[in-house]
Amino acid sequence: MVTFLPTRPGRLADVPSFTRAIGGAESNVACALAAAGHRTRWVSRVGADGFGDHLVAAVAAYGVDTTAVRRDPTRPTGVYFRTATDRATDAHEVVYYRAGSAASAMSPGTVPREDVAGGRVLHLSGITAALSDGCLALARALTARGPGRPLVSFDVNYRPGLWRDADPAVLLGLARGADLVFVGEDEAEAAWGLRGASAIRAALPEPAAVVVKHGGRGATAFSREGDGAGPPPARGTAPSAPPPRDAVTFVPAPRVDVVAPVGAGDAFAAGYLSAALRGRPAGQRLRHGHLMAAAALTVPGDLGAPPAAAHADRLARLDDAAWERLHLGPGWTRTGEDQEVRTP
């Protein structure tokens, strides 16, 4: 969607003007991964309008392949407006204009299988599944286990406003079909009544990896051999029954001077996937997730420039004591004199 960011804090009724940006769970992940040096493709639908032109051009500018984005001649591109306040507070407002949008009209019939089958990882979001019956059918088709599919990464992304007329247990079913799942501890409790990381993992036994995010406290990964975005299974083979035991890894989040608390979840998924695609171990995957999230948290919009790979790798390899003292502020992804990474 096209995102409109307020030019100053305040209620939507009082903000006089907005600046235009882009936003959207899956496109955010694609842009962040492309900026980090990975080959990515965004599969979606936008309107045959000016906002659609802007979205496709802006996403492509990050290096994302947009050739699988279809233009809908009869439906508009979705847009939304938000305030500058924290999403977790009562002062936060967000207004979506995406009912009847081009993206909400996606379905298994509008997305050719070849558009989503060529990569090592297919990343999906629960937000798309909530947009319409057709979008939910598409999400179910893409998370159905079977031979030849890529590794499926699924970010639950529970938004209560999107599930007022539907059962969010649907998201649990979609997550169980994935190979790698990202879910916030708070959203799992709100959507499914599950409390604690272990209970979440018990409810999601099928995925090879489940990453439970604890907000500013950190994240826990439950992972089995061959988990999340390493070398994929051989084409034409169905996954075997998973072994019963997990490796459990917790990594605390660094301290971050937050500019705007949006886009962090998508950025975390991108950082984790980037490290996984490069064969990093679970602890470093979580650290890269935290670092990419910090890049988003320290800018006003949904997307922050990721740190250079060598810079991120250096920080991800810090010893535990140095990592826990890490403090990241605006501008930290840049190198040079203005760098605001403070380590002992």
Assigned token pair, 35: 């900026």
Tokens, residue 229 = 């975005």
Cα–Cα distance list, 324 to 251, 258, 280, 328 (Å): 9, 17, 20, 11
Are residues 14 and 36 in contact, defined by beta-carbon separation less than 8 angstroms?
no
Q: SS3 helix, strand, coil % of the chain, rounded to 5?
A: 35, 20, 45
CB 77 within 8 A of CB 55: yes
Q: What is the CA radius of gyration of the chain?
A: 19
266 belongs to the catalytic site: yes
Rounded Cα gap, residues 314 and 227, in angstroms:
24
Between the alpha carbon of residue 188 and those of residues 3, 26, 182, 192, the distances in Å are 26, 20, 10, 5
Question: Of 266, 302, 313, 319, which one is the catalytic site residue?
Answer: 266
What tokens does 220 get? 């826990």
Residues annotated catalytic, as ranges: 266
